[in-house]
Amino acid sequence: MTNSSPPDSRNFRDSHGRPLVAVTGLGIVTSLGQGQVDNWTALTAGRSGIHSIARFSTDGLRTRIAGTVDFLDTDPLVAPALSQRFAEEAAEEAITQSGIGTKGNFPGALFIAVPPVEMEWPQRQSLAQASGQNGDITYSDLQRAASSRRFDAWHDLFIFATVADNIADRFGTKGSPISLSTACSSGATAIQLGVEAIRRGEMQAALCIGTDGSVNPESLIRFSLLSALSTQNDPPEGASKPFSKNRDGFVMGEGAAALVLENAEAARARGATILGYVLGCGEKGDGFHRTRSSPDGAPGIAAIRAALHDAGTEPDSIDTINAHGTSTPENDKMEALGCAAVFGERIRSLPISSNKSMIGHTLTAAGAIEAVISLLTVTHGRIPPTINYAVPDPALSLDVVTSARDARVSRVLSNSFGFGGQNTCLVLGDEPA
């Protein structure tokens, strides 16, 4: 996009004197499609990727819709395998675009947000069956079946480091890969870890990924039992309606995004095209409650302010907000409150949009997917819409973008908030602050 010299091109430092962190490659997979082109086309057209779940029986479920990625497949079809597949596709796209390293030899570390891994029901059932137990099944039966050695391959499938390990092997990243979770802000944290490592001078490049392929019966039911999901199943594409008065929960989504981050000076030296910069990262914990935010919104506000401070910039420099915007009553209210506190009166005219209206909440991947979309927003000068905003919530005084809006976008604030008091915000932009 932009190859002009940053203001402080003498030493490629940010306003805090740290190495600037450039983005040189992007990759994205969502229910809308694979790759930047397909996703951008669909997102700016306001197309929804939410549909009735076909992957498993939804018989008897209160929520029967999701933004599953059905065009990529694995055998067995389990969350870690799917998450790995999505991550591989996204990473391949990002690394190819960046042109960094050589095939299978990425010259930097891997930071990957992955959903917590567990054995799933089809595997438990296979073990139960293999145990030969005809009475009440207990975990002793599953252990006995496991000791037959027939299921040894599943060990690696269901431990936490395997996805990262396979990605590290395939792309040749360096050092010990970091698999992380900060719940629904995980994707943003993966980026933050990469940014910090480059700023500290530990590496010149980082591959940062967020991925989630965990739409399965139990995951869906868990969120359903916490009353977190929309139950407006019909029509599926109308269910996710961030900032609307009649919003009733989020819709689970799947996908992955990858970003190649580089020390900007090193990127420029190798002649790479710089797509944008990660200018700032901010985070703040919340000890109020396991699933709800502090009523005063202080931690979310602190995270936004920390990101702006880290970017060395002021609220006025932000051109649009890529909202966390889950479509839950609680999140959208708290996010609007937090943004109003930071941006003041300007929040009424500052374009804000939630990609989740179209792709659902991609959970572990969301922060990374939305960072990629934020950078595409900068590149194209067009803000994707929040669809389904038919009944605005009058309590939220926001400029919600309802159809793709052309605008000069130099800086985007991307918000991510999660269970467990996780708040992580990023400032992404076309030029250093």
Please identify, using beta-carbon distances, which residue of 90 and 193 lies nearer to other proteins.
193
Alpha carbons 425 and 299: distance in angstroms, whole number: 11
Please identify, using beta-carbon distances, which residue of 303 and 350 lies nearer to other proteins.
303
Stretch that binds other proteins, among 21-29, 67-75, 91-99, 131-139 (CB under 8 A): 131-139
The residue from 121, 269, 314, 390 that contacts other proteins (CB under 8 A) is 121
The residue from 33, 101, 418, 432 that contacts other proteins (CB under 8 A) is 418
281 is catalytic: no
Please state whether beta strands 205-212 and 382-383 pair in parallel, antiparallel, or not at all (unpaired): unpaired
**Amino acid identity for residue 349 in this structure:** S
SS (H, E, C) 83-143: HHHHHHHHHHHHHHHHCCCECCECCCEEEEECCCCCCCHHHHHHHHHHHCCCCCCCHHHHH
x/- map, 269-288, other proteins, by CB under 8 A: --------------xxxxxx
Alpha carbons 178 and 84: distance in angstroms, whole number: 14
380 is catalytic: no
> Is residue 7 reached through a cis peptide bond, with omega within 30 degrees of 0 on the bond before it?
no
Please identify, using beta-carbon distances, which residue of 29 and 183 lies nearer to other proteins.
183
Alpha carbons 355 and 327: distance in angstroms, whole number: 11
Residue 292 in contact with other proteins, rule: CB under 8 A: no
72 backbone dihedrals φ, ψ, rounded to 5°: -120, 145
51 is catalytic: no
Please identify, using beta-carbon distances, which residue of 75 and 136 lies nearer to other proteins.
136
Residue 160 in contact with other proteins, rule: CB under 8 A: yes
Residue 290 in contact with other proteins, rule: CB under 8 A: yes
- Whether the CA torsion 309, 311, 317, 319 is positive or negative: it is negative
Total of residues contacting other proteins (CB under 8 A): 89
Q: Are 114 and 256 in contact (CB under 8 A)?
A: no
Helices 366-380, 186-199: axis angle to 10 degrees equals: 70
State whether residue 152 is helix, strand or coil: coil
**Residues in region 172-211 near other proteins by CB under 8 A:** 174-183, 189, 193, 196-197, 200-203
Q: Of 208, 324, 339, 425, which is the active-site residue?
A: 324
Please identify, using beta-carbon distances, which residue of 142 and 376 lies nearer to other proteins.
142
Closest contact distance (angstroms) between CB of 364 and other proteins is 10
Residue 124 in contact with other proteins, rule: CB under 8 A: yes
Residue 215 in contact with other proteins, rule: CB under 8 A: no
The residue from 423, 427, 429, 432 that contacts other proteins (CB under 8 A) is 423
Closest contact distance (angstroms) between CB of 153 and other proteins is 8
Q: Of 208, 281, 339, 361, which is the active-site residue?
A: 361
Nearest to 415 by CA among 348, 312, 343: 343
**Residues in region 26-85 near other proteins by CB under 8 A:** 56-62
Range list of H helices, 272-409:
298-310, 329-343, 356-359, 366-380
- Catalytic center residues: 184, 324, 361
